Structure 1
């Protein structure tokens, strides 16, 4: 995993440990490939089990990966004793999910003590240049003092 130079090692480890507990990301074969201040990237290899009826990467898979990237980007700007939960997102599918691999980038555009807003971008990777396939705007709520929510 590539890390950002401005990234605190403890925050990076927290994100890596949390990501490792994500059954959905494990099932999809996703990898956490970049963690830096306000930005997280996740990569996913193409697999036919993740497609819809036309053979493109399923919109639900794209949405899940973008939501996860945005959520972990939020982890880079919150206190160590807090967590986040997504409370809303909007996804625009811009091009069919066709590629050998996919890159999902979440970036914080409005950090806050209670509400955090992130932008996500999904790209298809292959022989040519990366192709933008989806964008997301995500809103997350910072969770404090919730024993039923683990990091």
Structure 2
């Protein structure tokens, strides 16, 4: 995988994640930041469920999209940014668990478009259970002062 000189991508990703109001609202935590891979965890909270008590699909989608986007951040130069332009989510099992892990991994880095795949897991008693997958596409943003880091 060809990856650009990304500078101190870990610090940039962590600083950007701290500015995310949505992830703060979900009590999400950035737990792993490596080249082309990011993991986010969030605890179960009844306020984040749908009518049957499962983690809401919108919450799952938001966490997966965020993990994929920050995985893309690890592959780009410090003077550019990324925005998601498309994603597809497959919900594979009800979101039931004590905690949830969302992993984003770069499938294809690029200088204009980046493709990432994400996986969401429910963690509780027993082995982690795959609950969702995502494929997302991000575009590189250059020269826009309103879209930085």
TM-superposed CA distance for 1:10, in Å, is 1.7
Matched, 1:113 2:111: yes
- Segments of structure 2 that go 5 or more residues without pairing to the other structure are 1-5
Q: In the alignment, which residue of structure 2 is the partner of 1:70?
A: 68
Q: In the alignment, which residue of structure 2 is the partner of 1:3?
A: none
1:1-150 to structure 2, matched below 5 A, reads 10-150=8-148
**RMSD, aligned CA:** 0.9
Could you tell me whether the CA contact under 8 Å between 2:7 and 2:77 is conserved in 1? no
Could you tell me whether the CA contact under 8 Å between 2:80 and 2:148 is conserved in 1? no
SS of match in other structure, 2:141 = strand
Q: Distance in 1 between matches of 2:145 and 2:23?
A: 24
Q: Distance in 2 between matches of 1:144 and 1:9?
A: 17
Q: State the structure with bigger RCO (CA 8 A, min sep 6), 1 or 2.
A: 2
For this pair of structures, how many residues does the alignment match?
144
Q: How far does the alpha carbon of each residue in 1:103-142 deviate from its partner, in whole angstroms, 9 at most, with x for none?
A: 0000000000000000000000001000000000000000
TM-score, normalising length: structure 2 = 0.95
The change in CA–CA distance for 1:142 and 1:97 in structure 2 (over 3 A counts) is same
- Segments of structure 1 that go 5 or more residues without pairing to the other structure are 1-7
Runs of 4+ in 1 over 4 A off after TM superposition: none
